Chain A
């Protein structure tokens, strides 16, 4: 498991691995929003938590096809499937690697981008916390989407169509935590919901991902 994790991390950081692309995308989305809705500070403050969550979600989505598609193309996936590591563990590790290389940088960058959108003071802690708890679910759900579409030549668009509806609960609870936090309300209830959601997906979804991947490999 460690070997697979290290390899995926190493590949992501080396040239052409796409590390940082998600981060750049996140930045651009946040920069574009004021152009769309106007520079009014009060409005930006109000929509900042939602925009930041949406931007993080889209940045996550963009990098999903790298989780499995590259290993599929060069045949590694076949060989990983025949290795002693259970496929369930393999997809979990790959989701973890995706989170470490995409989700975690997004969490770290969110406060800086929050400044751009005039996120109010108390919001930062809850924004970071909600992203830290919510983005693992995005990676795990995304791995499921990637496993579903791995055999398809132009699966990227289809994967978005499949994955985005699955992101709805995470987005709702995550953005709600950040919004309540920013407005000084009590964000504990949605935070617990978000945590439960993340734990549930991490515990159960790898089985579905592995099952789907097995079907696609045969």
Chain B
């Protein structure tokens, strides 16, 4: 299995932000995206996850292979940790949540209402969701926000475990996760404004 991205261009709010992005990722490997704020990391990741269509270009894997995690974890405050996790597992047709609880040390918190968790604990719950999706490509947007050093270690271990099982990960992050990963610097792909082209979409410019 292989994730191939060819000549991808993405837009945010109708304005092209990245273009010509090509990458190739094989099973068991991770890719770290880097670039200054506003370069379009989130937009690129959302496009990979199938949440928005690319302007042009191709992503080889179907959106059904992607598990997406971003700033908002989709946690319901009035459900317990276990209920939250079990919902996502069942939505993806799986049952087992023990491994996810274990990986992020959530076992003791399983019965607590998610609303009573600290920010870091919520984040761990949000990341544990990745495991119960059973999907092969993790598409992660700044996954370590509000995690302490120890939790970052658990997260790194979870990613390594995922990769060891033949999975893949595309991660936008600025810190060292302790994972062997290729780094893709996005700055060179910043969309340049072109001279006014005479076709339908460009004619407004």
Interface residues of chain A, those whose CB is within 8 Å of chain B, are: 2-4, 6-7, 10-11, 14-17, 71, 73-85, 217-218
Contact = CB atoms under 8 A, between A and B. Distances in A.
16 contacts: A3-B91, A11-B76, A11-B78, A14-B78, A71-B74, A74-B76, A75-B70, A75-B74, A78-B74, A80-B91, A81-B51, A82-B63, A82-B68, A84-B91, A84-B93, A218-B51
Contacts of B68: 78-79, 82
A75 B51 contact: no
Interface residues of B, number: 30
B83 interface: yes
A76 B77 CA distance: 12
Contact of B87 (A7, A82, A84): A7
Contacts, number: 71
B67 interface: yes
Contacts of B66: 82
A145 to B, nearest CB: 22
A75 B73 contact: yes
Interface in B61-96: 63-64, 66-68, 70-76, 78-79, 83, 86-88, 90-93
A82 B67 contact: yes
A82 B72 contact: no
Contact of B90 (A3, A11, A17, A77): A3
B129 interface: yes
